[in-house]
Amino acid sequence: MRNVIIIAALAAQTVNAFPFLSEMPGPNPSRFSPIRTASNVKRQSACPFHANHQGAAPYNSKYTYTGAKNGLPGTGIGGIKVPADGDTAHAFEAPGPNDIRGPCPGLNAAANHHFLSHDGITTFAELVDMQQNLYNVDYGLAVALATLGVGLDGDVLTGKLSLGCDATRRTSATGDLLGKELGLNGHNKFEQDTSLTRDDFFLASGDDYTFNSTLFASMASTCAKKFDRDGLALYRYQRYQSSLANNPNFYFGPKVVIIYGAASFLYELFPSFGPEGTPDLATISSFFGAESDGSGGFRFNNREMIPANWYNRRLPYNIPDAAAEILAQYLKYPVLLGGNAGKGNFDLLGSYNGVFEGGKFTGTAKDVTCLLYQFATENVPSSLAGVLELPLQIVEFSIGKLNPGIK
């Protein structure tokens, strides 16, 4: 794919322009090659430990959903009530003090319903099965997202991933020998600046995972309480402008395709029956664990859950669908890619081969798909954050998982 050279060049440029990125934590590739290591920065003061780990609730012949099991493809036939009537194994259970939750409400809700391990330490197979059975995500996209998560934030040897904080001692096969496995809280991987409802890493002393009720209220207001593509594209633009103005270490690189994709989940996956349903305030609040504070605002209730009488989408949400939505959102309010090298000093990413020109993405939906593949398989971990070679195991894991599903 043509983006191999593009991304490698962008990586070198990015580290030079935004040196703070090279200080972000992550796997220590110096165990494999003489590459600069990363230093530690603040995360949660203590990551919860659950002594009695139990996996996701098993599926059975009575409640099959799409039939996905053991990381294999399901039927892709949706329109199924979730949880099914009588399926007590997938009833809601609020997280306890020793359960890990992170910045992704869709995953948090899945764990709260035991579609993922309730303690927040999940696996590649659980992630692939859950996405298909709960949301009717297409197998190819489910594998791509699980590969990105485990490959960049978890452990490819064990296939384990923390839904939130650094739980290396529980996810890694080698302890911290190869460095910390930060979980989904890890900055500039899945979690990035301009999150819908989480603060920028550098604006909140490293807390990029806690629900921000003010941001949720702003999103609801901008979207006029209907969280569709138009409203979320506008809100994403507003979050960009806010970070640009206030975050001296703001970074908005090529991996923002992931957060545009995550925004599409609010109207493609979260409504009952997916795009046939309505992404209204009640639905989105349920998944985000938001409730009225009685004075016009919102507060977090620690109950991220599937709404009552909810059905997953009829047709699977696949990679071309997601790529088209990513591009559609971006093109409504095109913004410059790059970052602040100090407040008020924005530095553009360069132009490469027609995919990035003048600091903007100028490619097609097919190029978006290609970028997603490259992020998981090529030499660009942690959003181009200073480590220019992935450990060999991560590359082999990612290519092995993705090649059968992405053409």
Q: Please, what are the averages of pLDDT over each run of 10 residues along the chain (407 residues)?
A: 37 42 39 29 66 94 97 98 98 97 97 98 98 98 93 86 93 77 85 95 93 98 97 98 96 90 98 98 98 96 98 97 97 95 86 77 89 61 35 58 58
Q: How far is the first Cα of the chain from the last one, in angstroms, to the nearest whole number?
A: 11
**Taking Cα atoms as reference points, which of 158, 112, 155 lies closest to residue 303?**
112
φ/ψ (deg, to 5) at 135: -105, -10
Q: Quick one: pLDDT at residue 253?
A: 87
Q: How far apart are CA 68 and CA 47, in angstroms?
A: 31
As a whole number of angstroms, the distance between CA 350 and CA 221 comes to: 35
Q: 93: which 2 tokens?
A: 């259970």
How would you class 96 by CB atoms within 10 Å of its CB: exposed for 0-12, middle for 13-18, buried for 19 or more?
exposed
CA–CA gap between residue 254 and residue 256 (Å, rounded): 5
Closest CA to 48 of 120, 125, 107: 120
Q: What is the pTM of this model?
A: 0.85
Q: What is the pLDDT of residue 21?
A: 43
Element (H, E) at 321: helix 319-332
The two beta strands, 290-292 and 251-252, are unpaired
